[in-house]
Amino acid sequence: MKRSVPSFLLAALVLLAISLPSSLGQAGFSPCRIVNLNMTFPVPIEAGRSFTVDSSLTVACWGFLPLIRVDIVDANSYQILSTVFLILPYSYSGSCAASLSNNATARNAPGSWALIIQAYVIDRNSGYTIGHYSQLFQVDVAP
């Protein structure tokens, strides 16, 4: 005797399978995340001169080939001042530490300058962002 699955049950399972990924995304699920990010930069920064922002971060990732991207962004104009990339080793389940250095040029006007550091975890296979971190910080620009 052959048993069949009722069509309403099959339809409910299909709807659940279709809606599950978007539900997880809406709930804030991310397969990779930046656990912490620390940065150092010179104080003060000389107007019009090159400066370096060194960052160290820990990425917790499950089952992806992660690529890290770190941007330094002017908080007023949203212009990207510097971008660096780092390929992390494959991590099926666990965390990996990374250090990156962004080089940028300071604005010419002295005073307090609002910048944003943005870090992304990108899956190398798909190109999708699978984790993100953003932090506003201030630097002093000297004449």
Mean pLDDT estimate for the chain? 82
Tens of pLDDT, residues 28-83: 556 888 988 999 999 999 999 999 999 999 998 887 888 999 999 999 999 999 99
Does residue 111 carry a pLDDT above 70? yes
Indicate the domain borders of the chain: 30-142
Which of 5-14, 20-29, 115-124 shows the lowest mean pLDDT across its residues?
20-29
In this prediction the pTM is 0.76
Please tell me which residue, 134 or 6, carries the higher pLDDT value. Answer: 134
CATH 2.60.40.150 fits 30-142, yes or no: yes
| Cα-based distances in Å from 129 to 92, 109, 138 | 17, 34, 26
Q: What is the pLDDT of residue 7?
A: 54
What confidence tier does 13 reach under pLDDT thresholds 50, 70, 90? very low
Residue 68's contacts (CB-CB under 8 Å, 6 or more residues apart) are 57, 59, 85, 86, 87, 88, 98, 100, 119, 120, 121, 122
Does residue 15 carry a pLDDT above 80? no
Amino acid code (one letter) for 117: I
In the chain, what percentage of residues exceed pLDDT 70? 76
What confidence tier does 23 reach under pLDDT thresholds 50, 70, 90? very low
In the chain, what percentage of residues exceed pLDDT 90? 60
